[in-house]
Structure 1
Amino acid sequence: MSKTDILSVMTRIKGASALDRETLAAAEIVVRRVFPTLPAPSKVALEPVEEVLHLVDLALPGWTIQLTGKAREPDGHWRCSLRETRGSDEDEVVGLGTGPAVALALLEALLDVTQQKDLS
């Protein structure tokens, strides 16, 4: 796994207005390479936000998700942070993401953590 693979998916997210299945599948592949102990993906098709939340929950159990933004259809302004502890400035890894949709901001934050944890 190279950081280039992760950055490639992050670039796709940055240019999107909504999360599509192909981008979510590509993101799940790179996340699973860095977090190989994740359980097998669910067979149940969920909404994109639910799928990303489930992936965050599996990859980063117990982490705090902070989501802020303004809902403006079709172009919101969302910011997401993922932290090991609630509000601590001492966290070694903090994932950050932004996007026009909640799922995009959340997935970008997860990929940010994935990139920081990638040891290759």
Structure 2
Amino acid sequence: MGTVDDLLEELDRADRPSIERIYAIAREEVPESEQGSGYGMPALVYRGKPLVSVMRAKKHIGVYPFSPAAVTAVAGALADHPGIGLEKGTIRFQPEHPLPDEVVRAMVVARKEEIDG
């Protein structure tokens, strides 16, 4: 397991912009976050707890905010969005159907507030 920067460097050119954008938004919302890990995945970490990880899986890109509540907080905004899959603690999407910026922001803020809670 490497850092978020290592992960981004190793990504396929088609996947990198989508994944990089989510990490960039998370860093904007939580500038004090640092690179670390969560459940063995490269992640941004806030106050010693994993904030978000974004990884390429075989059939999708997975966003892991390490919180079912953070996924639930944005589920309604994704109901009509094409190509989105939601599971407890995970949002799946395809690069051709990226997550809207406002959804990423809301998810990251929900996770930050949970950690601050």
TM-score (norm 1): 0.36
Q: Looking at secondary structure, tell me which structure has more strand per residue.
A: 2
Greater relative contact order (Cα 8 A, min sep 6): structure 1 or 2? Answer: 1
Larger radius of gyration: 1
